[in-house]
Chain A
Amino acid sequence: MSMAERSMGLGLRALGRLAGSDVVDRLGVRKPAERILYRATRDGFKAAGAAGRTFKSVNGGAKAKRLPSTTGTGLFDLTPTEEQQMLQESFRAFGAEQLRPNALRADTATQAPEEILRAGGELGLTMLGVPSELGGAVDERSSVTAVLAAEALAHGDMGLAVALLAPAGVAAALALWGDGDQQATYLPAFVEAETPAAASVAIQEPRALFDPFALQTTARRERDDFVLDGVKSLVPLAESAELLIVAARLEGHGPVLFLVESSTSGLLVKANPGMGVRAAATGDVLLEGVRLPARALLGDGDPAVYAQAVRRARLAWCALACGTARAVLDYVIPHVNERVAFGEPISNRQSVAFTVSDIALELEGMRLATLRAAARLDAGKDAAREVAIARTLCSEKGAWIGSNGVQLLGGHGYVKEHPVERWYRDLRAVGVCEGALLV
């Protein structure tokens, strides 16, 4: 079946389900739903599939809880705390035992197996950025912890790591910028539920030279509401998402973030897998006259909050790049030592050996730059420059490492028997993606 036919099929299936749904009539949205579905059928968009969870809105009273900055000795130090080391070890083991063996299957299916998502919930990934008084697991800001977690998981598989960590990013955003009501409304679905809510941060838009500070998705005020229009792309878990944080340009103001429940009328989704991170089930989100209450605005529309979100997302991708690039290094070392050509291991040749050296040293630079930016965020320092540097390194050196991982395996690197072709695809995501998840 061609891509177009498949899209059409999805649209018609959605039509069938919606048309028969009582909810449509009860909410009095049959007319707009039909209009939307007409278009959705044409473009392959459909209503978000995750009808499951409803968020019980909390109004008034709740006071926002914030994590304090970390305070350290101020010494230059590369030693993770004991707690971080424990997490690192368990995530690394989870990556090796659960993610790596399922990676190819998930990549092909363009979705994460249910049991992996459940296991992610058990690991408490969504609790890592949330204060313990809100049911989370931490008492200080912990971008460094989130970076170490993302790195460890992406060593197993980047696509699955994104699927697992996208909800964690939304939870962290709520902890960082949500007001008391927003935290009370949404955080329980991330810290109490057995399987955390499917959620992600939708910033990217489908065009060349996309700049997250020059959005085409718009939000306009209509009385007390906001009305959103536009298209978001490369949104992890797009079809299953229950909650999205959507970036839009608020007219007369600038880029801001909104909390959007995917059941909101006018929000449609479409699977749209890319060359990599396919297990993250990326897709497009279409917003057509999506009407949101005033309380959906995150962080009071503060431009600094938006900039922070963009930077933290970039840093999350850096962390993923470090993990996957490390997987490449760990994989090529035994390979070049065992592969024999012209009577000796190919690693006896400088052209091969030096490539391994270059991978190792560029990776170490990527990693240190990423950790520095994360530690600055945790200390409450400005990190615009440090994030830009980490992103530049992780995007360019990361893709270079992915390419050379394949190169060192030669033809073997090009076939799916070895994971390096997947890492080649996944590592390209790092310079492309904006948003999706954050640390």
Chain B
Amino acid sequence: MINLEIPKKFVPLVGQAHQVAEEVFRPISRKYDAGEHEYPKELDMLAALIDGMNEGSGSGAGAAGVRRTDNGDGGVRNGSNMSTVLGIIELCWGDVGLLLSMPRQGLGNSAIASVANDEQLERFRGKWAAMAITEPEAGSDSAAIRTTAVLDEATGEYVLNGEKIYVTSGERADLVVVWATLDRSVGRAAIKSFVVERSNPGLKLDRLEHKLGIRASDTAAFILDDCRVPKENLLGSPEVDTRKGFAGVMQTFDNTRPLVAGMAVGLTRACLELTERLLREAGVEVDYDKPASSQSAAAAEYLAMEADYEAARLLTLEAAWMADNSKPNSLQASMAKAKAGRTCVDVALRCVRLCGSLGFGEELLLEKWARDAKILDLFEGTQQIQLLIIARQLLGKSSAELK
């Protein structure tokens, strides 16, 4: 039966996550925005707490795995995809950079949780995993990556060589999930992901980036120099199957895009709530029954922003709900990511304008959120990549036809 309200069973989880956002993240938000590359040590305690929550409820408040399991009874399921996204929305209402810095909640963890086999899951349990896809010459076209992986039959190891940039939590994580190609001539089908220990001497930290926003989160660049990885660390099948193509690695995105959309939704709500308060103090109240055209321009703008926010939020929940119910959601995941990504940037920048110097100044967090927002329309697939994915599906186009 159609219902788009958050189920009661997730209310405690949302409440907990909100408390963390309000009492742990918000008070240190500005501190780690100013002190880029400082380690937010306040998060260690929190991470332990969240591990406990995950053990207890089986549904994480952070970027835990989003694994697809069959749901035997055939009934509707509200599972870990939804609870995870709900947790992320709340935490990013607090601070996106700090969420990304949460120990053991990296995108690499999502990848492992989504595609690892049982043995790997066990072996990497409790580790913090970053994700290394982008290269200086390959951003959105991840199929063009040049990092190579060559199997050394003698030792049973893959030898990785190349350069990786924009690795979130790359310095702090225990593991880095590295995308590399087994055979550049084959194209995307040969791209596999490898779990590399951060302590591996072949994985060399080159530098940490200085960024527009999410400065609490460290963004690393690595050189892979004859980096030897046990072959058991390859995620998914080692076979190069040209028919299945990118399926293995790309499947991760179907599960993680709604999570990134959730980040954007949380940040958007933070902007709207603060703006609503400041507008009210300025004498503007939004009336939901009165036509927008008959209200003040600020109220009308607020209504328009809130509508986009709600569309983004519902698209995000839809994509997560589909994942929980084993429905193919690649289209909806990209729609959610595209809508939430564009909305959070648009809303944040408009809120700054509406709030004037209060929005622009560093005393409040609005200006920081406006800077943080932009990454959410970039990473995990830019706006344009999402539109490409959506269009190819709807129009039945290959990537050769619709470039």
Contact = CB atoms under 8 A, between A and B. Distances in A.
Interface of A: 70, 72-81, 84, 144, 209-214, 307, 310-311, 329, 333, 336-337, 345, 347-348, 350, 353-354, 356-358, 360-362, 364-366, 368-369, 371-372, 374-376, 379, 381, 384-390, 392-393, 396
Contacts of A78: 2, 4, 318, 321
Given A353-B388, A388-B288, A362 B311 contact: yes
Contact of A211 (B294, B339, B387): B294
Nearest to A345: B401
Interface string B374-391: 000000000010111011
A70, A210, A358, A392 pick with most chain B CB within 10 angstroms: A392
B390 A79 contact: no
Contact of A364 (B292, B315, B397): B315
Contact of A361 (B2, B289, B315): B315
B382 to A, nearest CB: 12
Contacts of A144: 2
A22 B387 CA distance: 68
B395 to A, nearest CB: 5
Interface string B293-311: 1100000000110111011
B3 interface: yes
Nearest to B292: A392
Contact of B289 (A311, A357, A389): A311
Nearest to A147: B2
A365 B317 CA distance: 11
Interface stretch (B5-13, B46-54, B129-137, B158-166): B5-13
B335 interface: yes
A173 B291 CA distance: 22
A309 B344 CA distance: 33
Interface string B98-115: 000000000000000000
B142 to A, nearest CB: 18
B120 interface: no
Interface of B: 1-8, 76-78, 82, 288-294, 303-304, 306-308, 310-312, 314-315, 317-318, 321, 332, 335, 338-339, 384, 386-388, 390-392, 394-397, 401-403
Given A211-B294, A388-B289, A366 B311 contact: yes
Given A209-B294, A337-B396, A360-B394, A76 B307 contact: no
Contact of B2 (A310, A375, A390): A375
A39 B109 CA distance: 77
B402 A350 contact: yes
Given A144-B2, A337-B396, A347-B395, A384 B289 contact: yes
A347 B314 contact: no
Given A347-B397, A361-B335, A211 B310 contact: no
Given A209-B291, A347-B397, A375-B5, A361 B339 contact: yes
5 contacts: A70-B1, A74-B7, A76-B321, A79-B76, A381-B5
A358 B390 CA distance: 9
A263 to B, nearest CB: 33
Given A361-B338, A375-B4, A385 B288 contact: yes
Contacts of A80: 1-2
Q: Report the 6 A-B pairs with minimum CB-CB distance, sorted nearest first.
A: A365-B311, A353-B391, A368-B314, A372-B4, A392-B307, A388-B288
B82, B294, B390 pick with most chain A CB within 10 angstroms: B390
A144 B2 CA distance: 8
A381 B388 CA distance: 39
A369 B402 contact: no
Contacts of B317: 76
Given A76-B78, A76-B82, A385-B288, A356 B394 contact: yes
A73 B1 CA distance: 8
Given A78-B321, A360-B390, A353 B397 contact: yes
